[in-house]
Chains A and B, each alone.
Chain A
Amino acid sequence: MSEPINAPEYAAIAAAKERPTYRPPRNLNGVSEAEATGEVAESYEHFRVHFGRPNVPGILQCFATHPPLLRHMMDMAKDLIFSDGHLGRRTKELIATLISSRNECAYCADSHGFFLHMHGGSPDELQSALAGNKDISALNGKDRALLAFACKVNEQSSAILPADIEALRRADWSDAQIAETIHVTSLFATHNRVANAFGLESQGLLSLLDREPVSEGDRHE
């Protein structure tokens, strides 16, 4: 994690006139930025510098209750989510927003919905994903097939058969892209549950868009 990542979404949060206010989790205590000491304080500073975001998100404050976990979780998220892999950021954020909405995780749905917008997701895609609707009419058949598969990974993974994989290959998805879809979806099965069990509320990042629309020129495909 030596190089800062390309995260226009965090630059937009840093530049916003009204920054999201931090709300402590409802059910269990996290480690607030003011309370952080030692290894946690170092990890928080690493995050602020590396991701270019002024405040540490609530989900990391939950993992910070066990410091060694915090760094592993940050490293894994950086590799898997905050990077273009076999799937682009827009597709990953579309999956993340849809799955988080279907898992009733308001915190993750808001953050990743905001990231989806920043990485070129259309208003239709965003609204449909936030409603938990996998049949997004604005998408082509190829993308819809991938989202349907992600929902099956999320909700019925034990019923997945080789035929499901074949359908994706016919829709022109590579094995590496299918594997990444499984990784990302499964990771959100974890994050959504941690956020919900701690009782993290939405940070209201999407409401920043209402107050202060981000110009098209600032968005990245």
Chain B
Amino acid sequence: MSDVDVSTSLFLADVENNPQPSPYLDAMQAARQSGAEYWQIWNLLAFRPKLAHHLARMSHEIMFEEAPISPALRELIAAYTSSLNHCTFCMKAHAAVAAHLHGDETLVWSVIRDLENSGLPEMDKALLRFARKVTLDSGSIVADGMVPLHAAGWNDTAIFYATTACALFNFYNRWVSANGVALVSDDAFRSLGARMAQKGYNRD
């Protein structure tokens, strides 16, 4: 049923073929043994385990730990940001995480396709509009840009999380696309996304 070629290579052979001892190498080997699909971002993480460690800790803090914005909404920011950057892998992965957390796949995809006409609450839309600006035009953000967010009921800590989650995915989108990380099947996105929704980003 898979409509994608999961054997597609990363652009950088030396990166793909040099996984270092790490939780990501373990995860790849476990997936291969059980015949499960896995996402190639693990190859990138296994190539530089020290960087991966910092990145995973940071991502876990930003996306998963307690914050004034729910993990569901933070994952929606991740998926929406990824759609704006045309990173299909991150968009599908984090749409799957967000769908698991929201319990509503249709809502998640309606936001990605057309935020304004989606059924998302107005308060949440305000945060996603801000994420759009952070992604596409951060150089023009001025203090007045905070007014609609405060008016919608968000405090500065919430805006910090929205900004940082969005900025983090501006990293991941470029990292993933420039390395040629391949898509997996929709079923694999769902099952890997469900794991991430439950356990977060740390693996060591």
Contact = CB atoms under 8 A, between A and B. Distances in A.
A28 B156 contact: yes
Interface string A57-101: 000001101101100110110011000000000000000000000
Where chain B touches its partner, the secondary structure class is helix
A21 interface: no
Contact of A157 (B54, B85, B141, B143): B85
B165 to A, nearest CB: 10
Contacts of A105: 138-139
Interface stretch (A5-13, A40-48, A173-181, A213-221): A173-181
Which of B11, B13, B62, B161 lies at the interface centre, i.e. has the most chain A CB atoms within 10 A of its CB? B11
A162 B11 contact: yes
B14 A176 contact: yes
Interface in A185-215: 185-187, 189-194, 196-199
A193 B139 CA distance: 8
Contacts, number: 141
Given A179-B15, A190-B171, A193-B170, A28 B87 contact: no
Contacts of B166: 193
Given A28-B156, A103-B138, A157-B174, A165 B87 contact: no
B138 A196 contact: yes
Task: Give the size category of B's interface with A.
Answer: 35 or more
B199 interface: no
Contact of A28 (B62, B159, B171, B173): B159
Interface of B: 11-15, 47-48, 50-51, 54-55, 57-58, 61-62, 65, 85-88, 134-135, 138-143, 145-146, 156-157, 159-161, 163-164, 166-168, 170-175, 177-180
Interface of A: 26-29, 62-63, 65-66, 68-69, 72-73, 75-76, 79-80, 103-105, 152-154, 157-158, 160, 162, 164-165, 174-176, 178-179, 182-183, 185-187, 189-194, 196-199
14 contacts: A63-B164, A68-B65, A69-B61, A72-B61, A103-B138, A103-B139, A104-B138, A104-B139, A152-B178, A179-B14, A182-B178, A183-B175, A191-B167, A193-B138
